[in-house]
Amino acid sequence: MKDLELILGVKRRPIRVIYVSSYIPRKCGIATYTKDLTNAINLLNPYALAEIMAVNRPREDLNYPWETKFKINQEELTSYLQAADYINHSGADIVSLQHEFGLFGSHLGENIIPFVESLKRPLVTTLHTVFVEPNSSGGVIIKRLIEKSKVSIVMMEKIKNELIQKYHASADKIVTIPHGTPDLPYAPTDGYKKKKRLSDRLVLGNINLLTQNKGVEYILEAVSLIAKRYPTVLYFVIGQTHPVDLQYNGETYRKSLITRVKKLKIEKNVRFINKYISLDELIDWLGVMDFYITSYLDPQQASSGALAYAVGAGKCCISSPYIYAQEVLSHGRGIIVPFRDAKSIASAVIDLWENKDKKMKIEKDAYEYGRLMTWSSVALQYLDLFRTILHNGSYVNH
């Protein structure tokens, strides 16, 4: 009875959570993820709104929203230690760390380790990427984060199993919570296409911060093959170049793609939308797409917000077999094709375009699965986890 009263007491009171992450208006997938997550959690936990410790690039003067309480200079170790001291004296119940390699300074983000070692509040770490080899440089960081966290969150059961088997993580310290998606209505493309004057086109697309590991060149080759059968096919490459890639390489990759478009003579079949799009724009662009295609080149890609959103919108998705796509598109929820295989992408598009019932079955199965990934569902899982930690554990880190 005492335990029940304690659980109910924790559930009744607000939970004060500080999130350590990149954050809007920074143009970064983790920043967008954290904004969407905290928006959803705030609706369920309205009397202790999310507080943000925003990881900021040096010399980048961004106008962060009011919920940002501290800016961490990602390259300065002293900034991390000051942030940890702020948190330790804040009275926060939980610290939620959104971890991605390269986000926390140095080569792989090594500055995060002294930060977590200095924390005196319970830490929950969301691992957006996990290195397969625990003895690699990245693996050492992951191992230490798991050790210092009350619980680590991953987005796939396969990643959870790898952490247990290869990193020897305790099973009760690894929790799977899927990548969130907006709760979008299941809708045909007709209205969206009419709005953009695309009613007569077969439309393919993807939405990314553009980098070389996205494998867009293989989709361009597929478009050249599809165009032989459907001359009006149109492929949208949506999103600006990733700011980090832009800093070090400029627009080299985008220019190489434009050159390839000309070489393949598909200028009328490809459009580049070089901008960072809002959520409303993303929904409109997903709406016009008959097929959402990802051709990522990294087999260990452990998450993709854009693919999650496409599944949540009930899109017919075709993807290379990186581990996130394999899990999300399994059981007939999408089509998996080999890496770097333009012919297989083209064949899948043509086959499904000519077999509408088959395509519709994939879309409906994807949409149904996407209901489990809505931000409201994900937020509830996060809050339940936070409550469990507050009920079960002291504030002493490992």
* Interior angle at CA 311, CA 127 and CA 323, nearest 5: 45
Q: Copy the structure tokens of residue 11.
A: 């559930």
Domains delineated in the chain: 2-180+374-392 (3.40.50.2000), 190-372 (3.40.50.2000)
> What's the start-to-end Cα distance of the chain, in Å?
29
107-110: long-range contacts at Cβ-Cβ below 8 A with a sequence spacing of 24 or more? 107/137, 108/137, 108/138, 108/141, 109/141, 110/141
Q: What is the mean pLDDT of residues 59-88?
A: 96
Q: Considering all CA atoms of the chain, what is the largest pairwise distance in Å, rounded to the nearest integer?
A: 73
| pLDDT tier, 6 (very low <50, low <70, confident <90, very high otherwise) | very low
pLDDT band at 219; cut points 50, 70, 90 = very high
Peptide bond into 338 cis (omega under 30): no
Round to whole Å and give the CA distance between 266 and 264: 6
Percent of the chain with pLDDT over 90: 85
Task: Enter the DSSP assignment of 181.
Answer: B
Mean pLDDT over residues 55-60, rounded? 92
The model's pLDDT over 323-354, given as tens digits with 9 standing for 90+, comes to 999 999 999 999 999 999 999 999 999 999 99
Average pLDDT of every residue of the chain = 94
The model's pLDDT over 172-216, given as tens digits with 9 standing for 90+, comes to 999 999 999 999 989 999 999 999 999 999 999 999 999 999 999
Residue 318, helix vs strand vs coil: strand
Q: Above 70 in pLDDT, residue 259?
A: yes
Among 1-5, 217-221, 307-311, 384-388, the range scoring the smallest mean pLDDT is 1-5
CA distances for 381 relative to 29, 261, 263, 385, angstroms? 21, 44, 49, 6
> What are the structure tokens assigned to 105, written together?
């300074």
Please compute, for residue 21, the number of CA atoms within 13 A of its CA located in the half-sphere on the CB side. 34
Does this model's pTM top 0.75? My answer is yes
- What is the predicted pLDDT for the residue at 279? 85
Q: Give SS3 for 72.
A: strand
The owner of tokens 């290869």 is 166
CA dist., res. 333 & res. 387, Å (int): 33
Q: Is the peptide bond before 25 cis (omega within 30 degrees of 0)?
A: yes
pLDDT digit string, tens, across residues 94-137? 999 999 998 998 788 999 999 999 999 999 999 999 887 888 88
Q: Are strands 174-176 and 270-273 parallel, antiparallel or unpaired?
A: unpaired
Of 43, 377, 31, 325, the closest CA to residue 178 belongs to: 377
Sequence-distant (6+) residues with CB within 8 A of 22 are 28, 30, 31, 34, 54, 55, 56, 98, 103
Residue appearing with tokens 């106008």: 63
Residue 395 in this model has a pLDDT that exceeds 60: no
Please write down the long-range contacts of 88-91, taking CB distance under 8 Å and 24 or more positions apart: 88/118, 88/119, 88/120, 88/121, 90/16, 90/18, 90/51, 90/121, 91/16
**Average pLDDT estimate for 288-308:** 94
Kindly report the number of other CB atoms within 10 A of residue 44's CB atom: 13
